[in-house]
């Protein structure tokens, strides 16, 4: 599996829709960029899978969605942003949190609660769509299912898995979402639920060498007719540039800019690229105001 992918499928006469994702390389890239601890990797890894699948609902390539978790616990949370081209970026709020008791480093939810999950999706109109829920477990899958039930009234099953080794290297990361569409006969869900109860953890299956279509066929949708409609690559890609930073700096106003006359070197939260604004650059921006 050299390239991460997002999939869209339907089953049971299009009455249920399925999103699935392989995100191992994207999560590894995020881990490497930010030198994340296991806890931060597990949290943002699951959020990356979730956001990647949710991005399939974006109507336009230029639109984007942000998935954000804020917790009062020591892990604090993370933010993931993805656009309609499946270019994703993100960062953890407490990237290096490591706890002395080894076992505590594998349960991000416990280190977050209480907290909230927020989804912001651009709609093509001025005002974006925003949904917010209180975290249920902080382990993302259940929280997402609760989010869909509460904010969008869609019965949803979510399975997310991130498997990391001793050095916090990402061995496998992926997930799937199944949603019951409004016209669906709820009785049809029985077979699906039976399958879901028999599906092992998704990252364990991926670690055994299975890709998502195979996992869907052999476990999740076993014995059901289903159709794959779309698959597209998922990549970690930041959209920052010196120009974007210059625009942001411009907004600070003259007084603030005068205090930066010696030059500044802001760092992008999402990819750690640092941009140098020399005293000359700052003077140029002030002159333009």
User: At its nearest, how many Å lie between Zn ion and the CB of residue 235?
Assistant: 14
Site string for Zn ion, 193-232 (x = CB under 5 A): ----------------------------------------
Residue 167's nearest CA partner among 33, 28, 271, 49 is 28
Residues 11 and 222 sit within 8 Å (Cβ to Cβ): no
Rounded to whole angstroms, how far apart are CA atoms 263 and 192?
59
- Please tell me the count of residues contacting Zn ion according to CB under 5 A: 6
User: At its nearest, how many Å lie between Zn ion and the CB of residue 279?
Assistant: 24
Looking at the Cβ atoms of 224 and 238, the one nearer to Zn ion is 238
Residue 91 touches Zn ion, criterion: CB under 5 A: no
User: At its nearest, how many Å lie between Zn ion and the CB of residue 85?
Assistant: 16
Looking at the Cβ atoms of 137 and 273, the one nearer to Zn ion is 273
Residues 228-247 that bind Zn ion (CB under 5 A): 238, 240
Residues 256-275 that bind Zn ion (CB under 5 A): 268, 270-271, 273
Looking at the Cβ atoms of 168 and 271, the one nearer to Zn ion is 271
For residue 260, count other CB atoms closer than 10 A to its CB.
Answer: 17
Query: HSE-up of 214 (CA within 13 Å, CB side)?
Result: 10
CA distances 196 to 54, 146, 231, Å, are 20, 17, 22
User: At its nearest, how many Å lie between Zn ion and the CB of residue 91?
Assistant: 10
Positions touching Zn ion (CB under 5 A) are 238, 240, 268, 270-271, 273
């Amino acid at each position: 599996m050299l390239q991460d992918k997002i999939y869209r499928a339907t089953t049971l006469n299009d009455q249920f829709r399925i999103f699935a994702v392989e995100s191992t390389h994207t999560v590894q890239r995020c881990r490497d960029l930010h030198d994340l601890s296991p806890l931060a990797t597990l949290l943002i890894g699951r959020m990356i899978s979730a956001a990647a699948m949710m991005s399939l609902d974006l109507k336009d390539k230029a639109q984007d969605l942000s998935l954000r978790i804020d917790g009062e616990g020591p892990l604090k949370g993370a933010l993931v942003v993805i656009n309609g081209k499946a270019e994703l970026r993100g960062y953890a709020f407490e990237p290096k949190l490591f706890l002395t008791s080894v076992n505590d480093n594998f349960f991000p939810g416990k280190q977050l609660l209480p907290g909230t999950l927020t989804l912001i999706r651009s709609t093509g109109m001025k005002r974006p769509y925003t949904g917010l829920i209180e975290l249920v477990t902080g382990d993302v899958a259940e929280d997402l299912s609760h989010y869909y039930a509460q904010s969008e009234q869609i019965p949803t099953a979510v399975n997310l898995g991130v498997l990391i080794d001793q050095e916090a290297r990402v061995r496998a990361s992926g997930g799937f979402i199944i949603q019951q569409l409004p016209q669906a006969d709820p009785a049809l869900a029985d077979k699906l639920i039976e399958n879901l109860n028999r599906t092992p953890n998704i990252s364990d299956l991926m670690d055994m060498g299975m890709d998502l279509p195979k996992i869907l066929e052999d476990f999740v949708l076993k014995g059901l007719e289903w159709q794959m409609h779309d698959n597209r690559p998922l990549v970690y890609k930041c959209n920052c540039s010196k120009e974007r930073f210059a625009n942001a700096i411009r907004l600070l106003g003259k007084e603030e800019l005068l205090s930066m006359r010696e030059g500044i070197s802001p760092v992008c939260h999402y990819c750690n690229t640092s941009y140098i604004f020399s005293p000359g650059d700052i003077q140029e921006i002030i002159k333009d105001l």
